[in-house]
Structure 1
Amino acid sequence: MFTVLARKTVIRRTAVVLLAVGIGLSPNAVSAATPTHYHGAAFVHGNNGNVFKRSEDSAWGGYAVSKGGQTIVASWVNPRVDCSGGGVNSAWDGFDGYGTQTVEQIGIDLDCSSGSAVYKPWYEMYPRDSVYFDQTTSEGDQMTATVTHDSGINYTLTLADSTQNWSRTFHDSLDGANDSTAEVIMERLSSNVDNFGSMTFSGCQLDGQPFGNSAPDAITIASNGVDQATPGNIDGDHFDMTWDHA
């Protein structure tokens, strides 16, 4: 039997909105304590549509486009992480958040808070809490994350681990979701970024077309003006994300 928990251990942030709001729980979910990790995001909307100005701090790294769609999908291999910094990183894809106040997303936390890497699957309909689900995934596992906008405010979110031969699908809805942007992201959930080396997001597609065809914007994770993790050039449906600095 699978366990599903809604927790406030970490709070994922949209690319503009910095305010944490109340809990939305699924019928079998359990709320938890005040967040122990706090980090705001870091891009300010520019004056010309989807152009975003770099700021001193950004929690997101990867690629985002100011354009919605029906299905976003991306794959990656869970990287080895040097946990000397004791932080939490997260790999995911989804819709909204790049200048909007909701995010519909699914992915994996690379959680070093215990001193060694723990890979935790979750999905989130922000501003509701992350929903972590009890499924084993490890370093080196091949993951695929898919978010589908079904209709209106309804979404289907699927995370699959082909190495361990499991797949979990969630159907959820969120008032205010408008499916106006799409992202493939590595995110910093703590003040530092633990060294994950270099990882590749592959098979990135928006509505069956290579994500790069949408001319997405590149985003660098940064803190106090220091680059922490940077995306390489997107080549069709894949790009590398490389650790630079804690």
Structure 2
Amino acid sequence: MKKAKKNSFRSISGYWIVPRVKPGKKNGFSSAWIGIDGFGNPSLIQTGTQQDYKQGKAVYYAWWEILPAPETRISYPVSPHDLMYARISKQCKNKWLIVLRNKTKGWTFRKVKKYTGPATTAEWIMEAPSINNKTTRLAHYRKMLFKRCRVNDKNPLLKPSQRGIMIQNGRIVSTPSLPGKKRDSFFVAYGGKPPLPPR
């Protein structure tokens, strides 16, 4: 997560590899996404992939969202280990372009939408999503990689202090690594143990 002054961020992008969720006795949900805003304010524009385990079955799909509206599914296929690329960029006043590309399957989704958030934070996130205003139980997503992260088309030079863990029922359930050598990549792992950083 990067934080700055109002209207500091005009674009965010990055790659990630869709994780394979581990089967479990209970339903679990996970969202991997990039976005502008959402930290410390109610605004957010985002796009990403969903990796869920529901009713004994793994479910994978792509989506985009601008709060407070609910997510909109993208009707293209997503599978574990697919290489995804996402970019959100300001085109002109209040007009933003959302791009999500599945490099493995060869499809690209584009949408221009109105967005009036403050553009004060930029995020690359793996988390348990909220459904009906309630945070869900995080799916066991094992480990995933965000790489070639960019803000305003530049290396964000990620810092260890910008990491965020996820806690559910008093237990750490998701932990990022330190940034990689170029400071534009990191792993996120299920559980409380930080993974080693990317090389």
Q: Matches of 1:213 and 1:238 in 2, distance apart?
A: 8
Long gaps (5+) in structure 1: 1-63
1:202 paired to 2:139: no
Tell me by how many angstroms 1:152 deviates: 2.8
1:98 paired to 2:39: yes
- Return closer, same or farther for 1:154/1:216 CA change in 2, 3 Å cut-off: farther
SS of residue matched to 2:54 = coil
CA deviation profile, 1:194-233 (whole Å, cap 9, x unmatched): 2111111011111122223577611101113310000001
- Return closer, same or farther for 1:121/1:208 CA change in 2, 3 Å cut-off: same
CA deviation profile, 1:56-104 (whole Å, cap 9, x unmatched): xxxxxxxx12124111011111111113132110000010111111100
Any conservation in 1 of the 2:28–2:140 contact (CA below 8 Å)?
Answer: no
- TM-score normalised according to structure 2 size: 0.85
Equivalent in 127, 132, 153 of residue 73 of structure 2: 132
Equivalent in 138, 163, 168 of residue 223 of structure 1: 168
**Cross-structure match for 2:17:** 77
Q: Matches of 2:177 and 2:158 in 1, distance apart?
A: 16
Aligned counterparts, 1:158-169, within 5 A: 158-169=99-110
Q: Matches of 2:161 and 2:106 in 1, distance apart?
A: 31
Q: Matches of 2:188 and 2:160 in 1, distance apart?
A: 17
Q: Matches of 1:212 and 1:218 in 2, distance apart?
A: 12
Runs (4 or more) in structure 1 with deviation over 6 Å come to: none
- Return closer, same or farther for 1:96/1:165 CA change in 2, 3 Å cut-off: same
Q: Matches of 1:122 and 1:72 in 2, distance apart?
A: 16
Q: Matches of 2:160 and 2:35 in 1, distance apart?
A: 17
Instruction: Give the superposed CA RMSD.
Output: 1.7
Q: Matches of 1:217 and 1:172 in 2, distance apart?
A: 28
Give me the identity figure in percent: 25
SS of residue matched to 2:32 = strand
Q: Matches of 2:107 and 2:81 in 1, distance apart?
A: 15
Q: Matches of 1:111 and 1:197 in 2, distance apart?
A: 12
Long gaps (5+) in structure 2: 130-134, 193-199
Any conservation in 2 of the 1:65–1:215 contact (CA below 8 Å)?
Answer: no
Q: Matches of 1:229 and 1:183 in 2, distance apart?
A: 16
Q: Matches of 1:153 and 1:100 in 2, distance apart?
A: 17
Tell me by how many angstroms 1:119 deviates: 1.2
Q: Give, as a single letter, the amino acid of the residue that structure 2 aligns with 1:188.
A: A
Equivalent in 180, 185, 195 of residue 238 of structure 1: 185
Q: Matches of 2:55 and 2:100 in 1, distance apart?
A: 24
Aligned counterparts, 1:187-198, within 5 A: 187-189=127-129, 190-198=135-143
Aligned counterparts, 1:100-115, within 5 A: 100-115=41-56
SS of residue matched to 1:100 = coil
- TM-score normalised according to structure 1 size: 0.69
Q: Matches of 1:214 and 1:167 in 2, distance apart?
A: 31
- Return closer, same or farther for 1:233/1:131 CA change in 2, 3 Å cut-off: same
Number of positions where the alignment pairs a residue of Structure 1 with one of Structure 2: 181
Equivalent in 57, 60, 65 of residue 2 of structure 2: 65
- Return closer, same or farther for 1:166/1:146 CA change in 2, 3 Å cut-off: same
Equivalent in 168, 185, 192 of residue 125 of structure 2: 185
